[in-house]
Chain A
Amino acid sequence: MQFGIFSVGDVTPDPTTGREPSEHERIKAMVAIALKAEEVGLDVFATGEHHNPPFVPSSPTTMLGYIAARTEKLVLSTSTTLITTNDPVKIAEDFAMLQHLADGRVDLMMGRGNTGPVYPWFGQDIRQGINLAVENYALLHRLWREDVVTWEGKFRTPLQSFTATPRPLDGVAPFVWHGSIRSPEIAEQAAYYGDGFFHNNIFWPADHTKKMVELYRERYAHYGHGTAEQAIVGLGGQVFMRPNSQDAVREFRPYFDNAPVYGHGPSLEDFTEQTPLTVGSPQQVIEKTLAFREYAGDYQRQLFLMDHAGLPLKTVLEQLDLLGEQVVPVLREEFAKNRPADVPDAPTHAARVAAAKEEVTAV
């Protein structure tokens, strides 16, 4: 099982001091956070993609390429890559290039984005959101698997004998996750291709996440990729820790109360009770995270949201120390217990290359 962090990349003033980092500071902070993730033994760093303030990460492969050069083991991913408004040809090329530079430490998560206005900025129509996700991904899927593609669709100009370059590293496409909070169409899409399904699992009660994951697992089996238990599931999570849980609550409350999305709404207590958010001691984080398995089944990837709502970099780095030293080692050990042998590990480039070779030999 893989553990990591995912960042939205928001520039939010620290509500306790009123200080707002510059875009430059925030971008550098995201890199520092990624490097720290590797240092403390986490497996994955994923960045969001946004094209409007107050967010900075508009160009994920640029950032991930830079991080790739400064890390050895970390898997670089996205949360999410906009399959609706990016040209699938450019996604195919950008991520194949990143795959080569990072020696295969790359996967990505498809998403539709969280803001309607982004569609016209890239010449697209929001009413076609799901259809764009379907058609663009169908093309992207072929561009990574077929050397020469002739293609015609509804939303972009046709391709005649086109070859996306560079070809994927070792001839194996980056692994793809499909992220969705509430769209069954996306769970269906992930299942159809035998790709991973990631539920952000942050803002909504667990029973909703459970329903979406169950749908994906059922349809994964329906399409013959394996049993429902073998489907590739990723979950988000959100934590804030201090050795003493009262300290964690006291320190995090102003960030929670003013956070984008849920700030100025429910109380911290209600939200921690009703959603996967944990604010407390590392032990409480361990207990709550282990319980995810009860509703999502044995899964492959757990990403935590650690750097948002104006938390200063120093605090985030301290949080990553706690996560890497006290939480993740226990989670690795506990999640491995009673895990059925036929539940696959999280996909890696090496494993996918080996599987592709085996397939060729078998044929």
Chain B
Amino acid sequence: MKLVVVSAGLSVPSSTRLLADRLAAATAGRAPGTVDLRVVELRDLAVEIAHNFTNGFPGRALSAAIDDVTSADGLIVVTPVFSASYSGLFKSFFDVLDKDALAGKPVLIAATGGTGRHSLVLEHALRPLFAYLRAVVVPTGVYAASEDWGAEGLADRVERAAGELASLMAALSGPSLSDFPASAQAPAATSAPAQAAPEAAVPAQGVSETAVPVQPVARRADGFHVVPFEEQLAALRV
């Protein structure tokens, strides 16, 4: 399973990256099978992200990061709080992603700040952003203020959020249901809740092995969605 961490921390070392690493380690320990962990440090991509806005296409390093994020089974995204919200760099990275890149993907949201008074930034800024991108945001977000690093409670929240992310990754990995025609959804749908229904014999990872192999119809290898021209014409009744 591929777990990708996006960290928007700016200093080295950064508490944002520290929180990201804690969340990643906790998630990797709970996810089934081996976990392929990638870390995307947005600081290293800041110039390419800016150029993406002026050019319209990503440079090489940014392109690789976008591919990592798009192909991930789960995401951990961590931003410092700047001016009562996520940082501009953090938002800019998600602005250059394809609008469908995160659809159906489990995402753990986290943030760091100098004071606990900003903790609701997770709920009023990050959660709506990822809801817009149609990601599946885990219920527990993790906010770490400076004082949290020396207090009790952070570790529990990290563990709880990581557990939720690992469960969602196990349940949602494999081809997304939306890739399949309606008639092909039945076998996947019956075995998908394996985790929630312990009587099912197959483990969650077995879904893709036991499901009837059906080629996705909506998505081509080149990523284009092609509507046959006759359908375009028919829609207009030309």
Contacts and interface: CB of A to CB of B under 8 A. Distances in A.
Are both chains from one complex? Answer: yes
Interface of A: 130-131, 134-135, 138-139, 153-154, 184-185, 188-189, 191-192, 203-205, 208, 211, 214-215, 219, 223, 262, 264-266, 270-271, 274
B58 to A, nearest CB: 9
B59 A188 contact: no
Given A138-B236, A191-B229, A208-B57, 20 more contacts: A131-B235, A131-B236, A134-B229, A134-B232, A154-B237, A184-B225, A188-B229, A192-B230, A203-B56, A203-B57, A204-B56, A211-B224, A215-B222, A215-B224, A265-B51, A265-B54, A266-B51, A266-B54, A270-B59, A274-B57
A138 to B, nearest CB: 4
B227 A185 contact: yes
Contacts of B232: 130-131, 134, 185, 188-189
Contact of B226 (A130, A203, A219): A219
Name the residue among A204, A262, A266 with the largest chain B CB count within 10 angstroms.
Answer: A266
Contacts of B236: 131, 134-135, 138, 153-154
A204 B222 contact: no
Interface string B210-238: 00000000000011111111101101111
5 contacts: A153-B238, A184-B224, A192-B230, A204-B56, A215-B226
A100 B222 CA distance: 42
Contact of A188 (B51, B60, B222, B227): B227
Which bracket fits the contact residues of B?
20 to 34
Contact of B233 (A134, A203, A204, A262): A134
A154 B232 CA distance: 13
Contacts of A191: 229
Interface in B166-190: none
A351 to B, nearest CB: 25
A223 B233 CA distance: 15
A205 B56 CA distance: 10
B55 interface: yes
A264 B223 CA distance: 30
Closest 4 CB pairs of A and B: A265-B54, A192-B229, A184-B224, A138-B238
Nearest to A130: B232
Contacts of B233: 134, 138
Contacts of A219: 226
Contacts of A223: 229
A189 B229 CA distance: 6
A262 B226 contact: no
A274 B60 CA distance: 9
Nearest to A192: B229
B234 to A, nearest CB: 11
Nearest to A182: B56
Interface string B143-158: 0000000000000000
B168 to A, nearest CB: 32
B228 to A, nearest CB: 7
A191 B226 CA distance: 12
Nearest to B57: A204
A162 to B, nearest CB: 16
A266 B55 contact: yes
Contacts of A262: 54-55
Nearest to B228: A188
Contacts of B229: 134, 188-189, 191-192, 223
B203 to A, nearest CB: 37
A205 B57 contact: yes
A197 to B, nearest CB: 13
A244 B211 CA distance: 62
